[in-house]
Structure 1
Amino acid sequence: MKHTLLFFVFILGIASCQSTKPAEIKEDEPFTVWTWMTARRDMPDSAYQTRFKQLEASGVDAVLINTGTDPKELERLAALATEAGLEVHAWMFTMNRPGDTVALKHPEWYAVSREGKSCFDTRPYVDYYQWMCPTREASRSHVLSLVEGLAKVPGVASVHLDYIRYSDVFLPIGLLPKYDLIQNEELPEFDFCYCDVCLGEFEKIHHKNPLAMEHPELDIEWRQFRLNQVKAVVDDAYEIAHAHDKVLTAAVFPYPEMAANMVRQRWDKWNVDKVLPMIYHNFYNEELDWIAFATRQGVTDLSAKETELHTGLYLPSIAPEELLKAITYARDQGARGVALFDANALSDQHLQVLQQFKTSIQ
């Protein structure tokens, strides 16, 4: 145990020296450790109770649970997690709704690419990409009804929006070889949404049709229009969550400028209580210290708002001996917590590091 503690102090010292601590950070602010997890219907209550107790004992504070927007399943798991001392957040797929049985009855709800293909039957990149249009009233109303269903569940702290964006215009550079792609420009098959409703609403405002432009992907007003459509969904979800005494949280791309360029997601403009940017350094072929850079960028962009930033970390790319350094990079640059993807990737060694970290800051 003595050697373990000495190793922990040594690594903490290294991590602290390698990052620059902003003067405005308050050492007494609570620092939250979250983890994402997907519900399994074949997993009994007793197994969940054991897992939740293990997470809480190791320093995890909050669980983001994906139940496929099933309020009854969420209520069951929320009670078990709360009993174990964990805060519960209702994690939902928002504009990407793979296998949504209600939406699949309405092909017109789905986003359409610049080459005229709908996500209803032509999915970009992977089969589970079934993106819905954020502009069309019926698809928006459906998504917001799911938000409300989760917001009504007792024992839940927030509704957590994931995939609250368009499909990726650009993939993270580290993922391109997996799909044998080169993306040096906005390719038409990955540029959304060009459905009749989006085109019509844009034309009402700006008196031009993107499809009549030689390069619609370069038109600033057309880009802003789509940023605004995502923001409108978020802002409506914020009102719904708060009406049920919940807060709104969201998983987002690393920092606002990058997110706007890659997925039409300008999250520093949203009405949202907490953002969990997925600062997955290996997706971008970056080194571990990129966590510090991207965290600081997001914190700076949120400086005029009360929105909290909690850095998302991708555990498969972070060995247990690197986890403390990654957390320290985030904390020293102003993050109010870290969110770990995902609970299944949390090894016993990761949990030991978490426990030591939480003990050190108490």
Structure 2
Amino acid sequence: MRLPKLLLFILALSIISCASKKEDEKTPFEFGVWITAHKERTNADYAQEFAKYKNAGIDEVLINTGTDPKLLKRLVPIAKENGLRVHAWIMAMNRPGDSIALQHPDWYAVSKEGKSCFDNRPYVDYYQWLCPTRKESRNHVLGLVEELAKVDGIESVHLDYIRFPDIFLPIGLLPKYNLVQDEELPQYDFCYCDECIKAFEKIHHKNPKESHNTSIDMEWKNFRLNAIKAVVDDAYKIVHKYHKNLTAAVFPYPEMADHMVRQRWDKWDIDEVYPMIYHGFYNEEVDWVGYATKQGVSDLLRKKTKINTGVYLPAFKSPEELKEAILLAKENGAKGVCFYDGPAITPEQLRTIKETKESLK
């Protein structure tokens, strides 16, 4: 008896789905931690810190070395000896104190008000954003990415601040700056430098500075989304040339990231993303960790990109809340969970992380 083609197709899909489910069940749910390294600390200090993480069930460390390949080379073997994988964490478009960039004031992003991040920084003094469109500034960032990618033993180059400055802050942070952001404010709207305007005019034959309402000008918004995407996609090619992966810390789910910081990460060429689902920043309850994870996973269904849910440790009021967040991330499709940040982990939280990890085996 010959089965109808539709039935055969459904049967094939079912087999593929079951195989995929079995494969997911074999894949361990992994834990990571973001840390910032300082060259003044000794190797023994780091060995002790890394051993502490490993003992708590943590699998990987995402290390900010201030984009210093030498320090990264020093730390990789220490982490590996303690059973941890290493990712090279880099501040990408936000480059506070970058000695090379500071020699080039024209490299910096410019607000709608016409003020440059070189000497007029939005929100905080360390917001020194480079323009992703200008050839020289983007090549500088990509050059830093390449130097990190050359380091033997790392899993990935991990991009952070791979976006524009916040057009909207998380609602929970607004009181800190005594701000109300009910609309797009010109002092937080970037980038309107000459290079961006020229490139946009070449494509769309209009000047965004003359737009009646830039907040609803989709061409102008997409131009900036695509400027960030172009940097990521080029970084992906560079990193893969050295047989490493590209990962990134991003804002919660793509639609929110798009709205808040011109970051549409579901369209990037990238291996894994670590959305920073910091529920306290948004005045949300712990269950929002599951919601935002699910949204991101859903937006990536047609891509191979994996999600690791980032959580902010100081926001948890109890060990039970931390455990709940970890389990919600797993239940909603994350590959793992990453904790911000290493030094903030309390002994009580370490015990919770360890117990939760063991319960998932």
1:41 Cα offset (Å): 2.1
**Which digits, 9 at most, give the CA deviation of each residue in 1:62-110, with x for residues without a partner?**
0000000000000101111011110000000000000000000000000
Q: Show the counterpart of 2:344.
A: 345
Specify which of 146, 155, 158 is matched with residue 157 of structure 1.
155
Moved over 4 A (4+): none
Spell out the pairing of 1:119-134 with structure 2 (5 A cutoff).
Answer: 119-134=117-132
Identity %: 60
Determine which structure has greater relative contact order: mean sequence separation of CA pairs < 8 Å that are 6+ residues apart, divided by chain length.
1
Q: Show the counterpart of 1:18.
A: none
1:28 Cα offset (Å): 2.4
Specify which of 228, 236, 239 is matched with residue 238 of structure 1.
236
Q: Show the counterpart of 1:175.
A: 173
**Structure 1 residue ranges without an equivalent (≥5):** 1-22
Specify which of 232, 251, 254 is matched with residue 253 of structure 1.
251
Specify which of 78, 81, 84 is matched with residue 80 of structure 1.
78
Q: Show the counterpart of 2:285.
A: 287
Task: Supply the distance in 2 between the matched residues of 1:224 and 1:312 (Cα, whole angstroms).
Answer: 26
1:24 Cα offset (Å): 5.8
Q: Does 1:272 align with 2:267?
A: no
1:361 Cα offset (Å): 2.0
Q: Show the counterpart of 2:334.
A: 335
**Which digits, 9 at most, give the CA deviation of each residue in 1:216-268, with x for residues without a partner?**
22200000000000000000000011000100000000000000000000000
Match for 1:145: what amino acid? G
Task: Supply the distance in 2 between the matched residues of 1:171 and 1:208 (Cα, whole angstroms).
Answer: 29
Q: Show the counterpart of 1:184.
A: 182
Q: Show the counterpart of 1:305.
A: 303
Task: Supply the distance in 2 between the matched residues of 1:30 and 1:136 (Cα, whole angstroms).
Answer: 42
Match for 2:200: what amino acid? F
Aligned residues between the structures? 340
CA RMSD of aligned residues (A): 1.1
Aligned residue for 1:138, secondary structure, equals: helix
Match for 1:207: what amino acid? H
What is the TM-score of this pair, normalised by structure 2? 0.93
1:360 Cα offset (Å): 1.8
Specify which of 221, 243, 263 is matched with residue 223 of structure 1.
221
Q: Show the counterpart of 2:197.
A: 199
Task: Supply the distance in 2 between the matched residues of 1:60 and 1:43 (Cα, whole angstroms).
Answer: 21
What is the TM-score of this pair, normalised by structure 1? 0.92
Match for 1:316: what amino acid? P
Q: Does 1:355 align with 2:354?
A: yes
Task: Supply the distance in 2 between the matched residues of 1:302 and 1:288 (Cα, whole angstroms).
Answer: 23
1:32 Cα offset (Å): 1.3
Task: Supply the distance in 1 between the matched residues of 2:291 and 2:358 (Cα, whole angstroms).
Answer: 26
**Structure 2 residue ranges without an equivalent (≥5):** 1-19
Task: Supply the distance in 1 between the matched residues of 2:224 and 2:101 (Cα, whole angstroms).
Answer: 21
Q: Show the counterpart of 1:14.
A: none
